[in-house]
Amino acid sequence: MSNLAEQFRQLSTLLHRTRGDWQHTPFACRELPWPELAPALMALNEAQLDTLDEDDTAALAFFAPLRPETVASHAYRLPELDRADDYATPRWSNGIPGRKWAQIKDFAANITAEHAILEWCAGKGHLGRLLAQQGAPSVTSLEWNADLCRQGAEVAEQFKLDHHFVCADALSADAARLFRPEQQALALHACGELHLRFLRHAAAAGTRRLALSPCCYHLIDGDHYRPLSAAGRQQDLHLDRQSLRLPLQQQVTGGERVRRLRHIELTWRLAFDELQQHLTGTTRYLPLPSFPKQLLSGDFADFAHWACEQKSLPVPNSIDGEHWLQRAEQRRLLVKRIELVRHRYRYLLELWLLLDRALFLEEQGYRVNLGTFTAESNTPRRYLLQASRN
């Protein structure tokens, strides 16, 4: 059994045993699910809850006497991989945000550009362009957005690079034909089903080298995650989309404005839930989709109108915003207390998903390396899965 397989087995055992901690939907709860944690959680005011939740080290120290096995599991840390020597920005990188550029440079620092490269879900092809300039024999960038392909191709032509774009849907059957044995396939922050297809296609084609940084695990076909590896299927956690979102509930930066918007969004979502239960005569939580943050700059009545339309609910003639916001206040602290517990499983669930992908590749005959390729201050999605085969 490989080291990754043994770590996966131990982690699976823990996550099965602690399912009652991480599988709850906080908005659907009307009381704390854990009576034994109630004294410690109820002693925290809102400011303390926010401060702890933003500081993972402090939060783990808080839970050490309450959930010792969970806290101990966080001691397993993936190794740091190579980083860029510098983050100097070339002329063509104009407009790429600093953190995004750091991610591209750090990812590229782990790539030996000796084979033809396939860049999966490439956007404008920034990563592929950098590697073409560093000597990659050729680069093919797959991207479905025609405008991004056009912009990327224009820059490649300007610099006379062997860098070509294929404008196609990565989920289409034709996309699998882009994978070749003598090739290096790369995917920087490919979402959900897109990176699952990437792994399956590459393994089926026998692609020599792979490098993947996964993102958005919940964007999958179907309502539940189907593990890739045989070990994953044996230890299946039966993860639904709600659970798959948990690793993504982490911010790189805060700041007062970001905290204020989070506070408003949480309160307004809960206030709408109180309103919709009144309108429908049910006690079932009704989730809202993600929405532009400018919706939070108006008043709650406007937001409630929008939310009712999203959920095909009758829009009341008048909405007493203060009434519903006041009811939400009573639930907001409960949600934060539940999230303080659930968020301590973000890393562990993401590690489980990463190890499932790594073990799938090992089963396909690859040598696998898993680590962090960039600083946490650049992105929480900083894990890199590398694989090679003869």
> What are the sequence ranges of the domains in the chain?
12-75+256-344, 91-248+348-388
Does the global pTM surpass 0.95?
no
Q: What is the pLDDT of residues 37-84, one digit of tens each?
A: 999 999 999 999 999 999 999 999 999 999 999 999 999 999 999 999
| pLDDT cut 70: percent of the chain above it | 98
For residue 309, count other CB atoms closer than 10 A to its CB: 10
Position 92 pLDDT exceeds 90 = no
Segment 16-29 shows an average pLDDT of 94
Residues 6+ apart with CB under 8 A from 257: none
Residue 252: is its pLDDT beyond 70? no
Q: Is the pLDDT of residue 254 over 60?
A: no
Look at residue 209 in the predicted model and tell me its pLDDT. 97
Residue 375 has pLDDT above 70, yes or no: yes
Average pLDDT over residues 167-173: 95
3-state secondary structure string across 39-70: HHHHCCCHHHHHHHHHCHHHHHHHHCCCCHHH
The pLDDT value given to residue 257: 78
The DSSP output letter for 303 is H
Could you tell me the strand order of the sheet in which 367-372 lies? 163-167, 139-143, 117-119, 184-191, 209-215, 383-388, 367-372
- Measured CA to CA, the distance from residue 315 to residue 201 in angstroms comes to 47
Angle between helices 98-108 and 126-133 (to 10 degrees): 50
Which of 216-230, 293-307, 374-388 is predicted least confidently?
293-307
- Per-residue confidence (pLDDT) for residue 390, from 0 to 100: 82
The residue type found at 236 is: D
Is the model's pLDDT at 251 over the cut of 70?
no
First and final C-alpha spacing in the chain: 21
**Would you place residue 253 in the very low, low, confident or very high pLDDT band (cuts 50, 70, 90)?**
low
Average pLDDT, the chain: 94
> What CA–CA distances, in Å, run from 77 to 73, 151, 312, 323?
9, 39, 46, 47
The CATH architecture of the domain made up of 91-248+348-388 is 3-Layer(aba) Sandwich (3.40)
> Which residues, 6+ apart, have CB-to-CB distance to 260 below 8 Å?
none
Confidence of residue 2 (pLDDT cuts 50, 70, 90): confident
